[in-house]
Amino acid sequence: MIDVIVLTTTLSRNGGGVFTVVSKLYKTLDKNYSGEFNVRLFGYRDNMSDVDIKDLSIPLRLYRRWNNFYFSLRLLFDFLKLGKKKYILHIHSMWLFPSFVVSVVRTLNPRVRIIYSTHGMLEPYALNTSYWKKRLVLFLFEKRNLIRSDFIHALNLKEVLDIQKIARDARCIIIPNGVELSMNMANRTANQKRFLFLGRLHSKKGIDNLIEAWFKANTNDWCLYIVGPDEMDYTQKIQMRNAQCVNVKKHIIVENSIFGSAKEDLLNSCTVFILPSFSEGLPMAVLEAWAHGLPVLMTAECNLNEGFQNDCAIEIKPTIDSIMQGLELFCNMDMARISEMGENGRKLVANHYTWENSASKLSKLYNILEKDEINPDLANLI
């Protein structure tokens, strides 16, 4: 069996999209390739971990985070104890102490094979957030990590280009995220006329412009749901804007994070998904929307141009006027046409964005690394 250690940060819903990817991807890998890989998952515990990792059958090693850099001596010592054993180290994190651990492991163990999953963290908008801190980390060890890794796992071609701006000669492989195709389409509520934003309430998601565009647009009898963890006090801002609007039907409905069956019910009760983001890697929320038969209104920065090409998304720019035009376009669109676009999205997910597809490609990559079969045609093999 091939030994694989997966290293990430927060092992709970508080880890955001990276936790979702790690948990779903390795559950699928364990289910479909259980006899091939000995996978262990190293990550950090928080107040939601016991709830969110209970369904993971993969062996876990949990660490306490001592500060915002995720410092953990125990994590470092556990890797040092592995000595010069041969294994694959696959890291789903950047900028934090786990990356420093990777740099130590690479220096001390020439037999280890390292894969970096950057999850959109090298996108220009993301790089410019905490700019000087990230530049310092790049200088100290992160750039060297990228250059010395055996592979960098990118989600799409745009991410490959972003990676190569930092590490020009890095060897990249594209493996997109997956999503579970909804089997509860019979529960969809027809003609509800609901827009849905589902994700972190953060400025980079274009929330400010979405709020302003909504109150300016002629949205007829449609409504807007904004749902997700509030990281920048948007709930209060939305409530204030609602109070200034006489038309109650125009009020934005804002809710905190939801999970499980409640999230499923929400997706099935909405009509169009919107993500006016300034920066994304490969947004899981868009894939989930398509998996539930929702067409999408999104920016090119979401890096899912296949949606535009396959008639299941309409492009907007992350500006108030462009978002407003997109909202009005769907508000005046025939429901049959909206349903057709949503079904196109389901087909796109079924053909290209399932966890089974992602796990299959990852298993091939692990096998190639274990056998040292790296060659220029690797992308075609995977």
pLDDT at position 378: 57
Band (pLDDT 50/70/90 cuts) for residue 338 is very high
Taking residues 153-164, report their average pLDDT.
95
Give me the pLDDT at residue 188, please: 67
Residue 341: its pLDDT value, please?
A: 98
* Each residue's pLDDT tens digit, 247-270: 888 999 999 989 888 999 999 999
Q: What is the CATH number of domain 185-352?
A: 3.40.50.2000
The confidence score (pLDDT) of residue 207 equals 97
Give tens-digit pLDDT for 159-177. 999 999 999 989 999 999 9
Q: For residue 9, give the H/E element and its range.
A: strand 2-10
Question: Which of the four pLDDT bands, split at 50, 70 and 90, describes residue 183?
Answer: confident
The reply to whether 2-177+354-381 and 185-352 are identical in fold is yes
Contacts of 224 (CB under 8 A, 6+ apart): 194, 195, 196, 197, 210, 214, 252, 253
Apex 341 CA angle, 335 and 346, nearest 5: 125
Q: Is the pLDDT of residue 235 over 90?
A: yes
Q: Which fold has domain 2-177+354-381?
A: Rossmann fold (3.40.50)
Query: What value does the mean pLDDT take over residues 72-96?
Result: 97
Q: Where are the domains of the chain?
A: 2-177+354-381, 185-352
CA dist 138 and 116 (Å) reads 14
Q: Which residue has the tokens 């250690």?
A: 5
pLDDT at 289 over 80: yes
C-alpha–C-alpha distance, residues 379 and 382, integer Å: 5
Residue 377 pLDDT more than 60? no
